[in-house]
Amino acid sequence: MGGAVSAGEDNDELIDNLKEAQYIRTELVEQAFRAVDRADYYLEEFRENAYKDLAWKHGNIHLSAPCIYSEVMEALDLQPGLSFLNLGSGTGYLSSMVGLILGPFGVNHGVELHPDVTEYAKQKLDFFIRTSDSFDRFDFCEPSFVTGNCLEIAPDCSQYDRVYCGAGVRREHEDYMKSLLKLTKITRTGPSAWETKKILAVSFAPLVQPPRCESGKSRLVHLPPPAVRSLQDLARIAIRAAVKRAIRQEAASGSVGGPRTTPRLKRRRVRRRRMETIVFLDKEVFASRISSPSEDSGCEGPDEEPREGEAPSPAEARPEPPVNLLREKVLGLPLPEPLKRYLLYHRDK
């Protein structure tokens, strides 16, 4: 599944295309998508394909198409403080975006079948925390990944506010998973009542059935217990929140200029491919056609026209890197250096 929107030249242009096609509809979801660069979750030799609206698979590593993830994020209706379980968490791309919305008091767990993919997700998460300025712009709920079969989750695990499973589930597991072969939103409306809403026609590979041990018993997957934050960690969260509030107040009063930006160039319009998609789900066939507006082959200039006889230089057209105001504020506080590094989560950047 994929190919519903044109490819982007970078992460922002991909998000622009998803917004234009109404796959991304809310500001919260848009912010999360822009904050996590999809290319960072690709292997280096495949990064040129990161901004296409296509799924990617290499060995056990798999990423769904951006249009699928955007529909998932919108359907989950995420809010700060909720608990989230990602069944088949893969690279951790979706879990990282979810964590930006859940905030420091949410719960963010993932179960992945393949140990090598779990390790890959942990490496990508570490890279995001160490290098991305988005970590400082948001209050992040760090995902925890465990290896195992999601059909063998221990019965004593906590229930979650939101659960996502990106795979097909056999009928005998419906009561266990409450999932179908289509991307579906299921909401509990009572102790034994459920409301089901079909979100998007899509075909997922079925879940891998758990093997049996020699003893005949399955290997239970134990999810992390609810974490209780230390007073020191709570103080760090509170101080960072207070600094962010001060930055916003200063920006509103004009005391600080905010992140440095330049006039945004209008994106090149790319011809939408007229495509027909046929998806086989169970014994039904769903066909959809996505048509596109006409091509505008020109590359438009900046929003503000340059004065006659004056051409913008390459340096003027190139956006300056954004300023991490939180980091600058913390480094300017009259505090011991070890405490500053603690407030910045010991991030080098």
pLDDT digits (tens, 9 = 90+) for 307-318: 555 555 554 555
Between the alpha carbon of residue 181 and those of residues 194, 195, 200, 210, 231, the distances in Å are 17, 16, 11, 19, 45
pLDDT reading at 143 higher than 60: yes
In the chain, % of residues over pLDDT 90: 50
Active-site residue, from 6, 64, 95, 179:
64
Query: Mean pLDDT for the chain?
Result: 77
Q: Band of the pLDDT at 181, cuts 50, 70, 90?
A: very low
Q: Has 218 been annotated as catalytic?
A: no
Please report the domains of the chain, with CATH numbers, ordered by start residue.
11-209+219-227 (3.40.50.150), 228-247+330-348 (no CATH)
- Give the other-Cβ count within 10 Å of 44's Cβ: 6
- Cα of 22 vs its chain's centroid, Å: 17
Residues 6+ apart with CB under 8 A from 143: 86, 89, 92, 95, 96, 98, 99, 108, 109, 110, 121, 125
pLDDT reading at 190 higher than 70: no
Q: What is the pTM of this model?
A: 0.73
Closest CA to 154 of 106, 83, 210: 210
- Cα of 19 vs its chain's centroid, Å: 15
> CA–CA separation, 229 vs 120, rounded Å?
26
